[in-house]
Structure formats: C-alpha cells, structure tokens
Structure 1
Amino acid sequence: MPAMHYRLRWPDASESLAYSPSLVIEDFFTPGQDYALADFLRRAREATAIASARVQAKYGFACSAALDQLADTEARAAAFADHAGAQVRVLSFHPA
C-alpha cells in the first residue's frame, strides 16, 4: 500500500512531517493551502480513519502508525486551540 508523508507549517511557524499509510491524504489537503485549525483537524481525522480502514481491509488490523500520527497532530493542534484565526499550512507531499 503506498504511503505518504506530508509537511505541515503550524501557526507558530514550526514545521513537522506527518505520515499517512494511504494516498487518501491527497484527497483532503492541497499543498500550499492554509486550513483553519478546526477544519484541518476534521480533515486529518477523516483522512486517517479512511487510511486506517484501508490498512484494516488489506492486512486485518488498523494502522497504529496512522493512529499515533493523529494523536501527535491533535496534541500539536491543542497548543493553538486558543489562538483566534490559527491556521495550518500543508506545504508538500512526499512518497514514503
């Protein structure tokens, strides 16, 4: 199953590299696009659920790496929850 890394820029200008076990992430985000924090999280949750379900269907178990990535993403986002207008930019996609 093709996997994908995607680079993010957070509201404090820090960057991180995220992981998806499926290319479905490309259906939810566009490189160079800013997303309001709540919208970004909604999209990340939905994409991760689909990706994990694809792994489950193919291998018989959920993708723990995808679930760990979502937990990390949610923890990073929590730091900006009280920042009005906080946005996350998807910088790029990279095949894993």
Structure 2
Amino acid sequence: MPVTHFRIQWPDGSQANCYSPSTIVGNYLVAGERYALADFVERSRQALSLASERVRAKYGYACSSAMDQLAQIEDRARHFAGDPQAEVHVIALSRNVS
C-alpha cells in the first residue's frame, strides 16, 4: 500500500516527520503551504482518519499508526493553541510504496 511521509514545521520552528498509510494526505496538505494551526489539525484529522479507513477496507482493520500520528499532532498542537497567529508549515510530502 502506498504511504506518505510529510515533514512539518511547528510554530516554534521545531520540525517533525509524520506518517500516513495512504497518499490521501496529499488531498489535504500541500508541500510548501502554511496552515493556521486549527486548520492544519483538522486537515490532518480528516486525512489520517480516511487513511486508516483505507487500511481497514483493504486489510480488515484500522491503522493504529495513523491514529497514533494523529494523536501526536493533536498533542503537539495544544502547545500552541493560545496563539491565534500560530501556523504549521508543510515542508515536504514524499510518497512511497511499501
């Protein structure tokens, strides 16, 4: 199943490598774009939930890695929730077939 890794930069300048078990994330996030924090979290939630469901459709079970990734994104985003100017920069998306 093709997977997508996406590298992001949080509002404090720190970076993270993120994982999606599906290329669907490319329909929600674009490399080079900056997203308001809440918009980024919602786009990630939609993309990773759909990615997990694609795994369920193919293998009969949801993708725990996608849900773990979403939990990490949501947890980290809480650190910046008080800043109305907070943005997340999507640095890169890379697709691989695993």
TM-score by shorter chain over 0.5? yes
1:1-96 to 2 correspondence within 5 Å? 1-96=1-96
> Residue 62 of structure 1 aligns to a residue in which SS?
coil
Q: Which amino acid aligns with 2:47?
A: A
TM-score, normalising length: structure 2: 0.95
CA distance, structure 1, for counterparts of residue 35 and residue 18 of structure 2: 15
Letter in 1 for 2:41: L
Runs of 4+ in 1 over 3 A off after TM superposition: none
Structure 2: stretches of 5+ with no match in the other structure: none
Unaligned runs of 5+ in 1: none
Q: CA deviation at 1:94?
A: 1.9
Per-residue deviation, 1:75: 0.6
Q: Distance in 2 between matches of 1:28 and 1:88?
A: 13
Q: In the TM superposition, what whole-angstrom CA distance separates every residue of 1:64-92 from its partner, at most 9, and x where no partner exists?
A: 00000000000110000001210000000
Query: Which digits, 9 at most, give the CA deviation of each residue in 1:2-50, with x for residues without a partner?
Result: 0111000000000000000000010001111000001001100000111
Give the secondary-structure state (helix, strand or coil) at the position aligned to 2:2.
coil
CA RMSD of aligned residues (A): 0.7
- Counterpart of 1:3 in 2: which secondary structure? strand
Aligned letter for 1:72? Q
Q: Distance in 1 between matches of 2:94 and 2:40?
A: 19
TM-score by length of 1: 0.97
> Aligned partners of 1:95, 1:46: CA distance in 2, in Å?
18
